[in-house]
Amino acid sequence: MPVINLKNINNFICQNINLKIADKELLVLLGPTGAGKTTLLNIIAGLIDYQGTILFDDTPIDKLPVNVRRTGYLFQNLALFPHLDVASNISYGLRMKGMSSKKVKAKLDELLKLMKIENIAHRYPKNLSGGEKQKVALARALAPSPDILLLDEPLNSLDFRTSRYLRMEFLRLQKELEITSIYVTHDLVEAEEMADRVAIIHNGKLEQVGVPQEVFLKSENESVSNFLGTPNILDCEYCRVLGEELVEVNCGGIKIIVPHEGNEVRKIAISPSHIYVSREKPPGPDLNRFKGMIT
């Protein structure tokens, strides 16, 4: 898979973007709505005009039309062809490449097995669940063996559990296939869980790039810190595994239940956006709720 290098990328939203994405890396492009995340993906795919240079392994691809750029693109709304069944949707890219029907069949079987969707191969998109559609769209994007995979908020419309399961599935596939990927999201948890590196984009400008810990805990400028919020970092005195990926931690006498797969938690970071203050006791289970006085 190639190293992707964006040099001085400009258009109606993006302003002088310079970014290098390493081979086999999963870069998460994070930013608020309207920041220019999707526009940057469209630029890499060649779907919109831009000034600047995009290099795949030091080879400029700016003059290449979309259909020969070898990018796999997973759109936000997935855009599965409604008139084709799952098998035909996945094999669409292979047929466009002019592969023989025997090779198409072999590759299709391989992808159906990889995504664990053999049982829905002959269903139409209207008869699929959100998670199944997601898997089909990913398989379709991967089918022509692209050099780079672009994912535009693909898990946006799914519930928390399905979204988390698919995130893990995608991570497994990305590592297994060793495909360079750019994943767009505005969800900090998603970014933290998935990214090799995070790039924060705001108003068309690339504000900060780094590993998740570095970006989330040390914002380089005001716009990044406004978007991420300065997290409250608490030391945990002890932790107790409750099962079902839940851990109870004690931070300075406050017992908080957090989702965690391991047995040990030393610190927790709570984003201000996840703290709700209410005058009256809100309805629902009494979990992570504390009575206090604001002085």
Give the C-alpha separation, 293 to 26, whole Å.
Answer: 44
Segment contacting other proteins by CB under 8 A, of 4-12, 60-68, 102-110, 267-275: 60-68
Looking at beta carbons only, is 82 or 282 nearer to other proteins? 82
Q: Does 93 bind other proteins (CB under 8 A)?
A: yes
Q: Is 81 in the site for other proteins (CB under 8 A)?
A: yes
Decide: is 66 part of the binding site for other proteins (CB under 8 A): yes
Q: Which region, judged by CB under 8 A, interacts with other proteins, from 51-59, 75-83, 179-187, 265-273?
A: 75-83
The region of 25-33, 61-69, 179-187, 258-266 touching other proteins under the rule CB under 8 A is 61-69
Between 98 and 262, whose beta carbon lies closer to other proteins? 98
- Tally of CA atoms within 13 A in the half-sphere of 246 that contains its CB: 9
Q: Enter the tokens of residue 159.
A: 């519930």
Number of other residues whose CB lies within 10 A of the CB of residue 224 = 19
One of 125, 144, 154, 212 touching other proteins (CB under 8 A): 144
Q: Which is nearer to other proteins, 21 or 228 (CB)?
A: 21
Nearest C-alpha neighbor of 79 from the set 89, 69, 87: 89
CA dist., res. 112 & res. 138, Å (int): 11
Of these, 22, 34, 53, 97, which contacts other proteins (CB under 8 A)?
Answer: 97
Question: 103-142 mask for other proteins (x: CB under 8 A)?
Answer: -------------------------------------xx-
Tell me the closest approach of the beta carbon of residue 179 to other proteins, in angstroms.
Answer: 15
DSSP 225-260: HHHH-PPEEEE-SEEEEEETTEEEEEETTEEEEEE-
Report yes or no: 84 and 143 within 8 Å, Cβ to Cβ.
no
Short-list 38, 39, 37, CA closest to 12 = 39
Cα 163 to Cα 173: distance, rounded to the nearest angstrom? 15
Site membership for other proteins, residue 246 (CB under 8 A): no
In the bound complex, what is the minimum distance in angstroms from residue 146's beta carbon to other proteins? 8
Residues 39, 71, 174, 181: which binds other proteins (CB under 8 A)?
71
Among 7, 20, 32, 45, binds other proteins (CB under 8 A): 45
C-alpha span between 131 and 14 (Å, rounded): 32
Q: Which of 33, 58, 82, 244 binds other proteins (CB under 8 A)?
A: 82
Give the Cα separation of 42 and 48 in Å (integer). Answer: 6
What number of CA atoms fall less than 13 Å from residue 15's CA on the CB side?
8
Binding positions for other proteins, rule: CB under 8 A: 45, 47, 65-69, 71-73, 75, 77, 79, 81-83, 92-93, 96-97, 140-141, 143-144
